[in-house]
Structure 1
Amino acid sequence: MTTPPAAATAVPAPPRWAVRAAHLAAVTALPSGLWRLGLVAGWHGGYTEAGYRAMGFSGWGAVWPVFLSLSTEALALLTIGLVRPWGTVPPRWMPFLGGRPVDPRAVVAAASLGAAGLALLWTPFAAWWAMPGADMTPRGHFLVGFLYLPTVAWAPLLAAVTVSYHRRHRRHPATATATATATATATATTAPRPRAA
């Protein structure tokens, strides 16, 4: 088991509610993503025959729904970083950021913008059943509304976990000292020692 860097261990542990909220946020996009992947695999997913053909889910038409499903779920999984040590110091295998402490202010800003964007994008799906569904069967239109409904919760869950992340990093000034100490120690141990004459 890898020992977390000093900067990560200096931050207080997240409250239990934040851990649960982060894991819940990470799966909010999963039902709709699986639905899109099913469409690419040939399942009509609630569309009428004509509606399914009009969507063009074969060939290059399959690239967008697959990309959207995978990238959306990857972004949702990033929420877990707000309650894990790798949200303070990314693992070493990550390009550009690995092994170096991140600026909590940048993390909070990015997560806050993400929450605002998600609210604008997904909140309208709460009114899915009031939207027309001419290219879908009545049962399919009803079902798809339930598959997209969890995404509405993504924004408030991410916002709540972001507030928790901000509070934990703001209330613990030792983080900055631990970060500086860890960086100085790493530099000292990797620097070549001069040879005696």
Structure 2
Amino acid sequence: MSEHDIFLAIFNYVAHLFSVIKPQKLFFLAVDGVAPRAKMNQQRSRRFRTAKEAKETLEKAKRRGEEIPEEEGFDSNCITPGTPFMARLSAQLKYFIAKKVSEDADWRGVEIILSGHEVPGEGEHKIMEYIRLAKAQPGYNPNMRHCLYGLDADLIMLGLLSHDPHFCLLREEVTFGPRGGKGKAKRCVRLWIASTHEPACGRVC
């Protein structure tokens, strides 16, 4: 995929999540920033391993005589805070939000917050910090409903630690064909209640 196609896919999926959640007051979009020092070492080793595996895969394909595309493939290691790719992504996200607010009435009715890669901390922790600060403000509505989307497993613990009675997690579930059999993969969005870990409201595919 080209960088242009990647940005379009991101925008389409953000818009899809917005339509699924239907926020009424606030939509917080957080991009991972610089991680704590303890996790930097893990991320560095993961990126070195990814680069090594990509090089080995390319060499195996050449030995088998497979046709190699002339253009360079997308290097996922550029998805790192501080890289030119992330700077372009932040600029494109700002443009996307401004465009949706100006054209879509549903987006104009809520407050939109974008926390880019230049803000330190992982995305889910930045969102939880915002929720904790909001709860500390006078006049906070204890019946406020929160919905957090993400693929990391620690979102379950973060949701429980919020001690909020109305906290939902939005997770993806990939199923292969009918009842897990062989077939085309289908991506579904499944709603989980953080306090019980049991699915609710079914799926939106």
TM-score (norm 1): 0.27
Bigger relative contact order (CA 8 A; separation at least 6)? 1
More helix by share: 1
